[in-house]
Amino acid sequence: MGWDSSRPVPWQRLIREWLIYAAIMSAVFVIFFRGDNVLGAIAGVLISGPLYLAFGATLAKFGYQRQRLKDVRRTAATDSSPNAAASDVAGRSKPAPTSRTGGGGNRPKSTSKRRR
């Protein structure tokens, strides 16, 4: 798709996602880089905010919409219906037996009960 300036940009979603990312990464930097330059790392996380928002807005104007987890779960639930699974199995034939699947016939005889 091409650029369309009339396409809406999901600003609230972009900001919420970046805030979650910034909080998690800041906590990770504080925990793992205690004595080192933590302020520089957190400043880098803060600088990433406008970059993330600009990149996300540009993608939205080109028509990209990332699926939400709710939508992914809904499609996964409809795809795993019993009818879909039955049609997949009905279309395939059973493979020929091999020695690994028990159709080889040269298995050792089972011994009778162990004697004590």
> pLDDT of 67-102, one tens digit each?
888 888 888 888 765 655 555 566 788 888 877 776
* 110: in domain: no
33-48 pLDDT per residue, tens? 877 788 888 999 999 9
C-beta separation of 3 from 61 below 8 A: yes
Residues contacting 17, CB < 8 A, separation 6+: 52
Domain residues for the domain of 71 are 11-78
Domain total of the chain: 1
104 lies in some domain: no
In a domain, 39, yes or no: yes
For residue 50, tell me if it sits in a domain: yes
